[in-house]
Structure 1
Amino acid sequence: MSLRNKRKHVMNEAQWEDQRLPLRNQYIVKVLRSMGNNLHMVKKPCGEVHYVSMPTKFRRSIWIKRGNYVLVEPILEGKKVKAEIVKIFNKDSIKFYKENNIWPEEFVENKILEVKDDDIDFFENLNRNYHIQYCSEDSSDSGRGTEVED
Structure 2
Amino acid sequence: MSKATKRKHVTKEVLDEFILPAENQKIVKVLGGRGNNLHEIETSDGEKYLVSMPTKFRKNVWIKRGNFVVIQPIEEGEKVKAEIFAILYSAQIKYIQDQGKWPKEFCMDKTEETNKESISSSSEISDGSDSDSSSRNSDLFVNTNRPQCAYESSDISDEGSGSHSSSKEN
Same fold (TM over 0.5): yes
Identity of aligned residues (%): 50
In 2, are the aligned partners of 1:54 and 1:84 still within 8 Å (CA)?
A: yes
Deviation per residue, 1:22-66 (Å, 9 max, x gap): 111001000001100000000000000010000011111011010
Q: Distance in 1 between matches of 2:17 and 2:69?
A: 16
**CA deviation after TM superposition for structure 1 residue 10, in Å:** 1.2
Letter in 2 for 1:56: T
In 2, are the aligned partners of 1:73 and 1:85 still within 8 Å (CA)?
A: yes
In 1, are the aligned partners of 2:24 and 2:72 still within 8 Å (CA)?
A: yes
Greater share of residues in strand: 1
- Deviation beyond 4 Å, 4+ runs, structure 1: none
Deviates more, 1:71-80 or 1:103-112: 103-112
Find the counterpart in structure 1 of residue 13 from structure 2. Answer: 13
Bigger CA radius of gyration? 1
Matches within 5 A, 1:101-140: 101-109=100-108
Find the counterpart in structure 2 of residue 47 from structure 1. Answer: 46
Deviation per residue, 1:73-96 (Å, 9 max, x gap): 000011000000010001100000
Greater share of residues in helix: 2
TM value normalised by structure 2 = 0.62
Find the counterpart in structure 1 of residue 32 from structure 2. Answer: 33
Find the counterpart in structure 2 of residue 79 from structure 1. Answer: 78
Q: Which runs of 5+ in 1 are unaligned?
A: 113-150
Find the counterpart in structure 2 of residue 92 from structure 1. Answer: 91
